[in-house]
A and B are shown apart, each in its own frame.
Chain A
Amino acid sequence: MSSRGFAILGDAPMFGTPIPVGQLYFPSWERYTEAFRGIFERQYYTNQGPLTRILEERLQTFLGVRHAICVTNATIGLMMAADALELTGKVVLPSFTFIASAHSLTWAGLEPVFCDVDPQTHQIDTRRAGDLIDGGVSAIMAVNLWGGATDVAALSALAESAGIQLYFDSAHSFGCRIDGRPMGRFGRLEVFSFHATKILNATEGGCICTDDDDLAARLRNIRSSYGAGGPVQVVRTANGRMSEAQAAIALMSLDDFEANRDNNERLFRRYEEGLRDIPGMRLVHPRGVSHTNFQYLVCEIDESHFGLSRDALVEALRAENVLARRYFYPGIHRCIPYDQELSRYHDRLPVTDRLCATCVQLPIGALVSPSAVDQICDFLSRVRLRAREIQACAAGGAASGRADTTE
């Protein structure tokens, strides 16, 4: 361990190499070589190849869902989903989510209706969602955050009573369960992300899950599927295919799922222990699930008790080579073009605005050792002792940095 100083104040950084937020689990070089030797022998590279077919079958079994449709990434999966669901007009979604959720609607020609979230769980506020439904709304896109879950039962009841569709952006939720039931079967469909920062890694990738045969057939036609299912009428097709390379990596990642989840849990528990007595710092526990993947480590900072602003903290951590992030930041309703085109939301999302100003994402995953967690927690427990100096040092800087941890 290096000195117990502060890199932002000129001391040596805590870590010699940067520690990204995660997840970045990836097969060993030997397994990678072996898997790709197979692809080069088969010479089947894409277009619903043998590995993609196996992956889809294994995902269907793992998730207990009739259809798992693998895609090149989750954003394009959400775009395809909006088309396949034949949505029109407006869609209610939280603003406290990754911007891709809203992008998918814009690409599909739909208008986002931003809903505030619950201050404790950070999940979409079902009651407020109900208030936002009018005749122009065709669906709710609920986002399951942080390995926790939205109130699926209440949202389902709401959607049913309003006669609109409900679907889930479950980019954070692979391998999580609600009352013992794997996520993937809720609403009309769920979209998972297999981005490198997620617990299931295909470098880029994702899958759309549904029990609805007709919807699955439309999704396969929009994706372009080369023989998987017959042609059905869709408005427009796209290229949403997952390659054999992505499928190979996802399959190995699926083999490793339990081990990686267990590793996440060990690290999470260690953080839990280390952060327990730090005033002004609240670790966000995944709620609403009976089983989580522990793929996110998110804390809320209460500056008045912690002594340091969230932004200054992120900057101080980055100086230590801990690539902590403001996440999500800013709220989607404050990003272009929505800040201009939908400016009415500026004063309607107080919880979202507060969370965007106070949440910090810390490293958890393949490149994080237990001792690194101890060092980070130690840093967090003593940073307040020199809060004033650190705050002054950080004042000029926004917490920007390398973009390679963006999903």
Chain B
Amino acid sequence: MMPLSESLRKTRLEDLALFGGERLFETPKSTSNLVRPDFRRFLDYSRVFHSQHHYTNNGPLVRLLETRLASFHGSRHCVAFCSGFWALAVAMKLVALPGRSEVVMPSLTYRRMADLAAWVRLKPRFCDVEETTLAPSAAMVEPCINPDTALILGVHPIVNCCDVEGLQRLSAERGVPLLFDSVESVYETVPAGKVGAFGQAECFSLHASKLLNGFEGGYVTTNDPALARRLALSRGYGFEGESNVVLPHGLNAKLNEVHAAMALASLDDIDDQVARNRRRYVLYRDLLPAVPGIRLLQFDEKERTAYKNIVVELLENWPLTRAATLELLNAENILARAYYSPPLHRRSMAYPHVPADLPRTDRLAARFMLLPCGHFVTDDDIRTVVALLGFIQAHASAIAPRIATCMGARP
């Protein structure tokens, strides 16, 4: 194994890209998965739709993908969509209690989540998350429930899962439907079983940055046959057959066959991919303890997990601000990112929402960042990234004043 220092090639402050040195990476190292499935498999699937001249509209590959994903998740039904965004929008619309106006969602989550609620005319009411899981729990959601609550959005964080059973109990007790955003938990299990069969429905993404790469795409799993039918109708304008509109407020949210071919090829590779992800994760886990002030969020290996995302916490003794740290890393072409920052309740919103005061979320939103992961990241890259963090930590007292000038000089 190559020692850390050798992989870095930076010995002086001037070697840092932010201060004029050469970038560590020619190609960006991002936090997107960008997994590349086997090309021949993709072509084998493609041949099916190509030979049938069936390019979209519930084609053979979309149907196959839905069957395969339902069986993968252990859910009775799966409905594919053109994106996770519109999958979630349609599911929210169909699952929310009619006549009520609010959706409870965590503030520390996907940056477009409140916009999503606005598309389906629900008012977001933001809840806090647990310190230990970064996820909403029954205790966090319960105070937000009121007679206007139409829906609880249980969002799995990007490392490990939220308390599914607690949220299910709360949903049952209060009679408010529960929808899971499980975009980051495709492969995961929780004590109650495989993610994909809980709540009224669960939503997933097939975006290239996610575990399953379908270029763009998304899907919803559910055990409720009536809901599955309404989801499928909604994504195709509400049409049953060619000229029978049986559901109002449909749209076009169909997944095309090429994207389905890609998703199928990715699904074929998923176990191997997880093994590759685990190797990357274990390397981070082994190396990061050498850098004081940084804590890796560890996967709960009692459950099944995809080991996809690398999230670290900057502890009290980390010597720089997160913004400064990200600035240094990004300059090197290490596209590390702040974890869900700013949180949603801090963003300006021009649509109805419930203003929230969430000091815990504010605090948590300032502490975490994502490090490079996925298909483009090699073992050497990980060594280099960790070595750079070590270098930054060791020279922080000299870096801090220079970086303050750098960042201050920008408009």
Contacts and interface: CB of A to CB of B under 8 A. Distances in A.
Contacts of B169: none
B116 to A, nearest CB: 8
A52 B46 CA distance: 21
Contacts of A407: 252
Interface stretch (A103-111, A125-133, A267-275): A103-111
15 contacts: A32-B50, A36-B42, A40-B42, A43-B376, A76-B252, A99-B245, A99-B250, A107-B249, A203-B56, A237-B115, A243-B259, A336-B246, A403-B239, A406-B57, A407-B252
Contacts of B258: 203, 245-246, 249
B86 A32 contact: no
Contact of A238 (B119, B121, B215): B119
B55 A243 contact: no
Given A203-B257, A239-B85, A100 B53 contact: no
Contacts of A239: 83-86, 112, 216
The 10 A-B residue pairs with the shortest CB-CB distance in the complex, in nearest-first order: A45-B208, A239-B85, A337-B248, A203-B256, A75-B252, A243-B215, A236-B115, A400-B241, A335-B245, A196-B55
Contacts of B46: 32, 36
Contacts of A109: 121
B237 A404 contact: no
A401 B216 contact: no
Given A26-B50, A236-B119, A403-B57, 20 more contacts: A33-B43, A36-B43, A40-B39, A40-B42, A45-B208, A73-B252, A76-B251, A76-B253, A109-B121, A236-B118, A237-B112, A239-B83, A241-B83, A245-B215, A245-B258, A330-B243, A336-B246, A337-B249, A366-B53, A406-B237
B375 A43 contact: yes
Contacts of A249: 258
Interface of B: 34, 36, 39, 42-43, 46-47, 50, 53-59, 82-86, 112, 115, 118-119, 121, 207-208, 213, 215-216, 236-239, 241-254, 256-259, 262, 350-351, 375-376
A405 interface: yes
Given A75-B252, A235-B351, A401 B262 contact: no
A403 B58 contact: yes
Contacts of A36: 39, 42-43, 46
B216 A72 contact: yes
Contacts of B241: 400-401, 403
A201 B215 contact: no
A218 interface: no
A49 to B, nearest CB: 9
A143 interface: no
Most buried by B among A32, A79, A201, A245: A245
Most buried by A among B57, B84, B257, B259: B57
A46 B85 contact: no
Most buried by A among B215, B241, B249, B253: B215
Decide if the interface of chain A is mainly helix, strand, loop or mixed: loop
Contacts of A241: 83, 216
A20 B55 CA distance: 13
Interface residues of A, number: 62
Interface string A364-407: 00110000000000000000000000000000001111111111
B250 A103 contact: yes
Contacts of A335: 238, 245
A75 B251 contact: yes
Nearest to A195: B56
Given A326-B243, A330-B243, A406-B57, A238 B39 contact: no
Given A204-B254, A399-B243, A37 B39 contact: yes
A204 B239 contact: no
A360 interface: no
Contacts of B47: 29
B56 A103 contact: no
Contacts of A246: 215, 256, 258
Interface string A184-227: 00000000000110000101100000000000000000001000
Contacts of A367: 53
Contacts of B351: 235-236
Contacts of B112: 224, 237-239
Contacts of B254: 73, 204
B34 A235 contact: no
Interface in A23-73: 24, 26, 29, 32-33, 36-37, 40, 43, 45-47, 72-73
A404 B250 contact: no
Given A36-B46, A46-B207, A203-B55, A106 B252 contact: no
Interface in A312-351: 325-326, 329-330, 335-337
Contacts of A139: none
A74 interface: yes
Contact of A400 (B42, B238, B244): B244
Nearest to B205: A239
Given A46-B216, A238-B112, A336-B246, A406 B236 contact: yes
Contact of A100 (B119, B213, B247, B251): B251
Contact of A103 (B34, B115, B249, B259): B249
Most buried by B among A75, A243, A400: A243
Contacts of B239: 99, 403, 406
Contacts of B34: 43, 45
Contact of A235 (B56, B58, B118): B118
A100 B237 contact: yes
B104 to A, nearest CB: 19
Most buried by A among B118, B213, B375: B118
Contacts of B85: 238-239
Contact of B215 (A46, A224, A403, A404): A46
A244 interface: yes
A73 B57 contact: no
Most buried by A among B55, B242, B259: B242
B147 to A, nearest CB: 24
A163 B238 CA distance: 34
A235 B347 CA distance: 12
B36 to A, nearest CB: 6
B251 A79 contact: yes
Contacts of B121: 109
A204 B241 CA distance: 19
A404 to B, nearest CB: 4
A107 B242 contact: no
A47 B32 CA distance: 12
